[in-house]
Amino acid sequence: MSGELTLTLHGAARTVTGSCHEFELGGARVLVDCGLFQGSRTLEGLNAGAFGFDPHKVDAVVLTHAHIDHSGLLPRLVAEGFAGKIWCTQATADLLEYMLADAGRIQEADTARRNRRRDRAGEEPFEPLYTEADALAAWGRCSPVPLEEWFEPAPGFRVRLWNAGHILGSASVELEAGGTRVMCSGDLGPDNKSFHPDPEGPRGFDHVLCESTYGDREREALTIEARRKLLEAEIRGALARGGNLVIPTFALERTQELLLDIAELVRTGALSNVPVFIDSPLASQATRVFERHARELEDLNGCTFECPNFHFTESVAESIRLNSVSGAIIMAASGMCEGGRIRHHLIHNLHRRDSTVLFVGYQAAGSLGRVILDGAERVRISGEDVTVRAAIRRIDSYSAHADQGELLDWIGERAPIRGSLLLVHGEEPALEALRKLALGRLDRTQVVVPEIGERWALPPGAPARRLRTGRTDLAQALGHDWQNAYAQLVTGLKRDLSRIEDDRQREEAIAAMRKVLDSYGEFRARKRSKAAHRK
C-alpha cells in the first residue's frame, strides 16, 4: 500500500484522559483506544463534541485496556457508525462487558439527576452521551487476541500486543504499516506491581508513543509487605478518629489490590472487626473476572478475595443505608470522584470531623478528587455545597502507573528509536520533566510533546513531521476551568458575605458583583454589534 503512515491525536495529549490515537495509511484507519475525557466540566464537554474523524471510515480499534479513559467512547463510536472490530486481549474483553455497561448506566443516571436539579429548572434537558444498550453493542464488537501474536486489523497494518503490567488485560501496541514500526505504550504499570509481571516489549522502533502520567514523580520503592503496613497505619488512624474511612477507588484493579491487602491484614490479625463495604456493583463484577483469570495473576497464591469483613453492596437501597454507619471502611467508585456512588458518600462524610477520605490513585486536574486533595475548604457536589472537615489523606504506593524512573527505563528498553519519541497521556509538568530527561537518555532521537488535534507524518527511520497544528481552542479545557472557579466562588460566597460588617455593605458588595457581570454582558453585545456591521 502506497503512502506514508500518519498519526492524529484526538485525546490524551497534554492531558491524561480521552486516549484516542488515529493511524492512517492509504485510506485505511486504525484507532488505538477511544476513551472518555475526565476532569473539569469543560474537558468532559469534549466527549459530546464531534469526533475528529468519520466513525464510518474507521476500519478497526486496537484497545490497550479497559479503563474508561481509554475505552469509554466506544459506545458512541459504534452508535455513530463504526462497524469494525475492537481488538484487545481476552481479559480486556471480559472486563468491558461490565465496564461499558456500567458506563452507560452512569451516563443515563447522571443525566437524569442533572435534569432534576432545582438550579436547572426551565433549561433544556441534557441527553446521555450513550445508553447501556449502546455500550453492550460496542462490547459485542470485541475480538480477543493473545499477547505477542500478529494480526491484521486493517489493510496494510500488522499489530501485536505486549504485556503492559498496568491492569488485568492491559497491553502495549506494536504496529507496523507503510514500512514504519511504531510502539504505543498504553498505560504502563510499575515494577513489582500486584497481580502482573513487569511491562515487556521488543527493541528498535521508528517511533514510540509513551505515557507520561508520573513523568515528574519518583515514588518510594516499597515491597507489598511495606505497602500493607502503610495501609494498616492509615486504617488504624482513621478508625481512631471514630468515623468512617472513605476510599474513592477505581472499580477495576485498585479495588482488588486493596481487597487483597485488607484480607491479608485480617488474616494475620493486624485488623480485626472493621467492616469493609465495597459499594460498587461494577467492582463486584470486576472482582469475579479477576477470579476467573486467577491463573494468569501473581501474588494470589491460591487465595481469593473472600473475607468475613467484606460486604458487597449491590442495590441503591443498600448503598443509602451506609449513611447511618460509623467506624467502617467504605470503598466506592469513581476513583477521581467524578461520578458514581462515591459522590454520595462524600456528601455524607466530608463535613464530619471524625471521618477520613483516603486517596489511593491519580487525580486529574479539574476533577473533584484533585480539588479536595489540593485542600479546598468547601466543594460543590451534585448541586450541594459541602464543607470539608474530614481528614484528607493519600497513599501513592497503589498507583497502577510507572513512575519517572520506570518510564525512562521502559523508553530505554525500546531503543534504538530511529525517529521520534512522542510523550502523551500527561499533564504539562510531567510531560516537560520527562521530555528533558528523555533527551538526555536518547541519542539523536527527536522528543515531541504533541497537542490534541495535531497530525504527524511517521516516516521510517526519520523524525516525525507535523502536518497539522493542534486545536488551540482546547487549551482552556485542560486543567482547572471556569466551572471549577465558579464552584469555588459560590461555595464560599455566603461565608464571605457574612464576614462583612452589616447588611447594607453586603448589599453593596452583591450590587458590585452584579455590575461586573453586567459589564461583561454589555461588552459582548458591543462586540457582536460591531461584527454585524463589518459584515
130-139, 162-171, 306-315, 413-422: range with lowest mean pLDDT: 306-315
Total Cβ atoms within 10 A of residue 327: 15
Average pLDDT, the chain: 90
| Grid-cell match 485542600, residue found | 375
170/162 Cα distance (integer angstroms): 8
426/424 Cα distance (integer angstroms): 6
Pairing of strands 391-394, 356-359: parallel
211/33 Cα distance (integer angstroms): 13
Residue 410's pLDDT is 97
Q: pLDDT digits over 376-390, tens only?
A: 999 999 878 999 999
Pairing of strands 417-424, 446-448: parallel
Chain-centroid distance of CA 135 in Å reads 18
212/146 Cα distance (integer angstroms): 26
Helices (H), 175-300: 224-241, 254-267, 281-292
484: CB partners within 8 A, 6+ apart: 40, 41, 366, 371
Q: What is the DSSP letter of 462?
A: S
Residue 168's pLDDT is 94
Pairing of strands 28-32, 21-25: antiparallel
Residue 406's pLDDT is 96
Total Cβ atoms within 10 A of residue 348: 18
In the chain, helix, strand, coil percent, each to 5? 40, 20, 40
Q: Which of 399, 411, 422 is nearest to 201 (CA)?
A: 411
Q: pLDDT digits over 321-371, tens only?
A: 999 999 999 999 888 898 789 999 999 999 999 999 999 988 888 889 999
Q: What is the CATH number of domain 6-217+400-472?
A: 3.60.15.10
State the helix-helix crossing angle for 482-498 and 503-534, rounded to 10 degrees.
150
Helices (H), 293-403: 316-321, 342-349, 368-373
Q: Which of 43, 142, 41 is nearest to 85 (CA)?
A: 142
291: CB partners within 8 A, 6+ apart: 304, 305
Q: What is the DSSP letter of 151?
A: B
Q: How far is CA 264 from CA 111, 197, 395, in A?
A: 40, 21, 18
Question: pTM for this structure?
Answer: 0.83
Q: Are 244 and 350 in contact (CB under 8 A)?
A: no
153/144 Cα distance (integer angstroms): 12
Q: pLDDT digits over 180-211, tens only?
A: 999 999 999 998 777 888 999 999 999 999 99
CATH fold label, 225-394: Rossmann fold (3.40.50)
426/434 Cα distance (integer angstroms): 10
179/477 Cα distance (integer angstroms): 36
The dihedral built from the CA positions of residue 50, 54, 55 and 56, taken in this order, carries a sign that is: positive
Residue 477's pLDDT is 57
**Domain residue ranges in the chain:** 6-217+400-472, 225-394, 481-511
81/451 Cα distance (integer angstroms): 26
* Angle of CA points 257, 260, 263, to nearest 5°: 145
Residue 53's pLDDT is 97
379/388 Cα distance (integer angstroms): 7
Q: pLDDT digits over 249-295, tens only?
A: 988 888 999 999 999 999 899 998 899 999 998 998 998 899 888 88
Pairing of strands 446-448, 455-457: unpaired
Q: pLDDT digits over 407-463, tens only?
A: 999 999 999 999 999 999 999 999 999 999 999 999 889 999 999 999 999 999 999
523/535 Cα distance (integer angstroms): 19
Identical fold between 6-217+400-472 and 225-394: no
